[in-house]
Amino acid sequence: MRPQRLRPQLKRDPLDGAPPPILLSVLTQSSQVKARTVLVIHGAGEPRRRGSKVYWEPMLQKDLRPEFRVRAPRMPQPDDPEYRRWARRIEQLIAGTARPVLVGHSFGASVLLKYLAETTPRPPLAGVFLIATPFWGPDFPEFALPPDFGARLRDVSPLCMYHTRDDGEVPLDHLERYRRSLPQVFVRVLDGRGHEFNQAHFPELVADIRQLAVERAV
């Protein structure tokens, strides 16, 4: 019988005269080449969906198109997450993607940080944007960051973190712990978003991706 490990208790986490065919093909290929990938790692628990997609994808895609292509895949066994499985999946998703923008929510954000802190060499990225990120202490060694994570991540930029004062699952002081160890982090403290950020639009995140990630795109 496999021993039961301590698990982070997070709720479900909860976008006449048609041109000749050859011209259409050229335009389509061109837009695909220019579109930068935004990869979203959702939180623990079966992710909420809009239609058939994890809600982060339609929420962001409609405001980031056409310069960005948003992907929000379902992560392995989200109701009983294991760091190694999620890290392997993140590695697979990043592989072959040119300088992606990484977005993480809740447990997914903490896994992204741990993956980036422990991966050598780190893949080139256009930016890291983390929402409602829990800070795991020694009670959760599987998910906790290495003690020197601030030094390991000091070259990750742009690095942005978002938290809402009414988050009922991850207290605001978790954000402060990250801010003390990551001097380069850009922080936005918001109101009225809850833990899920399950909203029609996320204008602050969209604006920051457009400005900060594009500056690092070259």
Confidence (pLDDT) at 202: 97
**How far is residue 173's CA from residue 165's CA, in Å, rounded to a whole number?**
10
Count of other CB atoms within 10 angstroms of residue 72: 25
- Contacts of 122-125 with C-beta under 8 Å, sequence gap 24+, read 122/156, 123/94, 123/95, 124/98, 124/99, 125/99, 125/100, 125/101, 125/156, 125/216
* CB of 186 closer than 8 Å to CB of 215: no
Q: Which three-class secondary structure state does DSSP give residue 119?
A: coil
Q: What is the pLDDT of residues 152-183, one digit of tens each?
A: 999 999 999 999 999 999 999 999 999 999 99
CA of 74: how far to CAs of 54, 77, 90, in Å? Answer: 7, 9, 11
Confidence (pLDDT) at 35: 87
Confidence (pLDDT) at 216: 55
Confidence (pLDDT) at 214: 66
Confidence (pLDDT) at 21: 36
* CB of 56 closer than 8 Å to CB of 70: yes
Confidence (pLDDT) at 48: 93
Confidence (pLDDT) at 11: 43
Confidence (pLDDT) at 123: 92
Confidence (pLDDT) at 212: 86
Confidence (pLDDT) at 23: 29
* CB of 127 closer than 8 Å to CB of 155: no
Residues of the chain with pLDDT under 50: 1-33, 218
CA of 137: how far to CAs of 18, 96, 140, in Å? Answer: 60, 33, 6
Confidence (pLDDT) at 158: 96
Beta bridge partners of 36: 68
3-state percent helix, strand, coil for the chain, nearest multiple of 5: 35, 15, 50
Tokens of 42: 């959702």
Confidence (pLDDT) at 19: 40
Beta bridge partners of 190: 164
